[in-house]
Structure 1
Amino acid sequence: MNRSRLRRSPLPAVALAAVAATGLSGCMYFSPQQTTKPYIPADGNIASVGPVQLTNVLVVTSGKGADGKLQGLATNTSNKPVQLKVQPQGGAATTLTVPAMTSVRLDGKTNGNDTATVPAVSVAKVPVVPGKEMTITFTITSSGSSNPVGVPVLLDQPPYGTATPSGQSSSAEGGKEG
């Protein structure tokens, strides 16, 4: 008995295998690249007002109604010193002088090898609980240009705070010794 055999081409099977391998391999051909999307790679917010760039701006506090500290970096990109007024939501304004072509920390500390500092900016009676945002308006006094910025409020704990209530040492954990 002779049976005639039909020869099948392996081409459809190879094509199907290639399509299946591409689909199952997690190919990102149709997905956007995450590195092309802008994002804020920090806990704080970014903004600009006139020649001043603000980065990682946030408020650290122990809770709603308590005093807070503004943290972040103000970079003056101009050739002249700039007067920057910082007006927290419902609080008193503070005016800082940011030297030309310099970055200063808003917490009053030095920035790396740069010795320029500004007075620390405090926020009296933070109006929101940690985890929410409050508005701080930054204004260039010479031009009047301003930018209200939604600034995150974080709990006073590392890396931005100490998690130790003022007036207590870190060993005072609430229990009696004895």
Structure 2
Amino acid sequence: MKRRLRRPAAVAIAALSTAAVSGCAVFSPVQTAVPYEPSDGFSTTVGDVVVRNVLVVSEGDGAPGVLSATLVNEGTEDVEVTVDTGSGSDTSITVPTGVAYVLGAGSGAGPTTTPEAGAVETTAPTAVEISSVDAVAGELVPVTFEADGASVDLEVPVLLPRHEYTTLTPAPAPTDTGTATGTSTATSTATTTS
């Protein structure tokens, strides 16, 4: 009689221990099922356009900056996207369908690529400069994206132009070379006459 009870008892113990071990997944969700931002910037969707990795690169606290982002048009028609950084002028961009439109400046924003089968074409970077960023690195600044009659306000981080963002800097301000500086330089010109 003992032998008869051993087999069902072993099966019952195996079933209970399997249920106990696999029950951990009930209280601990699978990490890949939890949405998160895998980069420094933030993402959103406005109309048919997915806006990815939005951030501002600047020394901050009144210094100029550059908006960095990638716009992907998942619709069937070209979409005009308006970007408002709060600097006083909006930037309008036509994003063709199936294209990843890169906002930024310099080589760090992303190269132009040739699409492969099923790949998304990437454009050369377009600069969206901000004349004055009123936040220090690490703080958030508001940026508004408008497309297809929809508008999304997004708070995006300000990052220093370091490491991979070194090339994402505003164009240098024009300098006035016609102004006297208070120093004089003597020059001489030699002419030869025959």
Root-mean-square deviation (CA, aligned residues, Å) is 3.0
| Aligned-partner residue type, residue 129 of structure 1 | V
2:62 aligns with 65
Name the % identity: 36
Counterparts of 2:62 and 2:26, CA distance in 1: 50
Superposition deviation, residue 90 in structure 1:
4.1
Counterparts of 1:164 and 1:69, CA distance in 2: 6
Sort the Cα spacing of 1:122 and 1:165 in 2 relative to 1 into closer, same or farther, 3 A: closer
In proportion to residue count, which structure has more helix? 2
**Aligned positions, number:** 145
2:155 aligns with 150
Work out which of the residue numbers 120, 127, 135 in structure 2 matches 1:128: 135
Matched position secondary structure for 2:165: coil
Q: Is the counterpart of residue 33 in structure 1 residue 30 in structure 2?
A: yes
Q: Is the counterpart of residue 100 in structure 1 residue 97 in structure 2?
A: yes
Superposition deviation, residue 135 in structure 1:
0.7
Question: Once the two structures are superposed, what CA deviation does each residue of 1:97-138 show, in whole Å capped at 9, x if it has no partner?
Answer: 111111110115544334634631111201211101111000
Gaps of 5+ in 2: 1-12, 115-120, 173-194
Gaps of 5+ in 1: 1-14, 168-178
Give runs of ≥4 in structure 1 deviating > 4 Å: 162-167
Q: TM-score, normalization: structure 2?
A: 0.64
Superposition deviation, residue 78 in structure 1:
1.3
Sort the Cα spacing of 1:94 and 1:163 in 2 relative to 1 into closer, same or farther, 3 A: closer
Counterparts of 1:62 and 1:38, CA distance in 2: 30
| Aligned-partner residue type, residue 153 of structure 2 | P
State whether residues 105 and 111 of structure 1, in contact with CA within 8 Å, keep that contact through their aligned partners in structure 2.
no
Matched position secondary structure for 1:159: helix
Q: TM-score, normalization: structure 1?
A: 0.69
1:112 aligns with 113
